[in-house]
């Protein structure tokens, strides 16, 4: 009986793995200008009030590129609103009203309804039944959730292109409001295009002319410091014009849920020229890697033909 021999196993062609492209942040390029982590977000820093681009600033994705979480933002806004309630409303109960506490007249024999003292809530000038008393309306919210809400609000503005980062907000002329109104009109930041909020790091006493001029602009926008701004302010207006130093301070203060420190994530910035050199070097590295992969692939094919 004839046996059927199995065909020889086909040899698989040898394919060399593609070489990995060197990263710009590895130790091979320690002195490369503007080296940033690969998962970074690029923001342009403008000069105020000319709005000319000055440099690029890099931030982590966990700071300015978070997904929209309406539930977390809602909890943060409610938490901030409850903290602002004073809870000082107080009314007088029948024991707090001035006057005698004797019974007005006898219980029986008068033909009238029975009564007590004149501090009764059903009488004019008496106490208030179930009235408000001083209380604390504050609700609880974990610190990490609140910090996440801050960065989510900033990420929402960044995704929509409504987060404008400037080097420094200042009023170089006078405290008159016409100069700031002209800036708002030329850049489309005024009331017609949605009010804008400016966030400065300096206090009011350090830059009184700027704050006084902003108050005289009317309904064009608002100017707040880092200590006064909250999550609700970041969401209620058309756009946010914030200083770079103020943005870094906010991100540093609200990063309790992040594992990595914030200093090296939000502290790197390069100029447009350095960014151009970085992209040029990256293209050169990619071309070298492709050429090396092509040479290795050609060598492997020659070896297969010889065998």
Asked whether the predicted pLDDT for residue 26 surpasses 50, the reply is: no
pLDDT number for residue 106: 93
Task: Look over the chain and give the mean of its residue pLDDT values, rounded to a whole number.
Answer: 80
| pLDDT average, residue stretch 90-115 | 92
Give the pLDDT of residue 100: 87
* Whole-number pLDDT of residue 275: 59
**What's the confidence (pLDDT) of residue 245?**
93
At residue 277 the predicted structure's pLDDT band, cuts being 50, 70 and 90, is low
| pLDDT for res 242 | 95
Of the chain, the percentage scoring pLDDT greater than 90 comes to 46
Structural domains of the chain in order of their starting residue, each with its CATH number: 40-86+141-281 (3.40.1370.10)
Contacts of 178 (CB under 8 A, 6+ apart): none
Instruction: Indicate if the pLDDT at residue 36 is higher than 60.
Output: no
Greater confidence (3 vs 183) lies with: 183
The residue among 152 and 49 whose pLDDT is bigger is 152
Give pLDDT, residue 35: 46
Whose CA is closest to 100, among 126, 78, 139?
126
The answer to whether the pTM exceeds 0.85 is no
In this structure, of 90-94, 153-157, 171-175, the range with the lowest mean pLDDT score is 171-175
The residue among 285 and 152 whose pLDDT is bigger is 152
Is the pLDDT score of 31 beyond 70?
Answer: no
Asked whether residue 269 carries a pLDDT value surpassing 60, the answer given is no
pLDDT, residue 19, reads: 42
Please give the biggest Cα pair distance in the chain: 132
Closest CA to 32 of 282, 278, 294, 224: 278
Section 292-303 average pLDDT:
75
The pLDDT tens digits for 278-293 are: 666 676 677 777 777 7
Confidence of residue 130 (pLDDT cuts 50, 70, 90): very high
| Nearest Cα to Cα of residue 269 among 3, 53, 78, 14 | 53
Residue 262 has pLDDT above 60, yes or no: no
pLDDT per residue as tens digits for the range 2-25: 455 544 444 444 444 444 434 433
- CB-based burial label for 108 (10 Å; 0-12, 13-18, 19+): exposed
Confidence of residue 271 (pLDDT cuts 50, 70, 90): low
Of the ranges 19-23, 178-182, 200-204, 252-256, which is most confident?
252-256
Whether 128 has a pLDDT exceeding 60, the answer reads yes
């Amino acid at each position: 009986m004839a046996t059927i021999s199995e065909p020889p196993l086909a040899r698989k062609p040898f394919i060399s793995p593609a070489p990995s492209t060197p990263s710009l942040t590895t130790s091979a390029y320690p002195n490369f200008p503007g080296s940033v982590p690969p998962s970074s977000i690029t923001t342009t820093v403008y000069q105020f009030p000319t709005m000319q681009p000055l440099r690029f600033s890099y931030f982590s994705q966990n700071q300015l590129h978070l997904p929209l979480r309406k539930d977390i933002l809602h909890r943060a806004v409610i938490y901030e609103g409850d903290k602002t309630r004073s809870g000082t409303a107080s009314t007088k109960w029948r024991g707090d009203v001035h006057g005698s506490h004797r019974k007005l007249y006898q219980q029986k024999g008068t033909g009238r309804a029975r009564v007590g003292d004149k501090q009764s809530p059903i009488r004019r000038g008496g106490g208030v039944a179930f009235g408000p008393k001083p209380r604390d309306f504050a609700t609880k919210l974990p610190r990490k959730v609140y910090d996440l809400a801050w960065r989510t609000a900033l990420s929402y503005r960044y995704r929509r292109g409504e987060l404008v980062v400037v080097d420094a907000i200042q009023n170089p002329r006078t405290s008159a409001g016409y100069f700031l109104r002209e800036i708002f009109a030329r850049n489309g930041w005024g009331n017609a295009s949605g009010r804008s909020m400016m966030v400065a790091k300096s206090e009011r006493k350090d830059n009184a002319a700027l704050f006084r001029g902003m108050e005289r602009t009317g309904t064009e926008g608002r100017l707040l410091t880092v200590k006064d701004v909250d999550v609700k302010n970041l969401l209620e207006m058309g756009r946010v014009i914030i200083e770079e130093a103020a943005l870094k301070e906010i991100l540093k203060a609200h990063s309790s849920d992040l594992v990595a420190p914030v200093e090296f994530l939000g502290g790197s910035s390069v100029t447009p020229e350095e960014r151009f050199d970085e992209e040029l070097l990256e293209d050169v590295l990619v071309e070298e890697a492709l050429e090396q992969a092509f040479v290795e692939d050609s060598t492997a094919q020659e070896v297969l033909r010889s065998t």
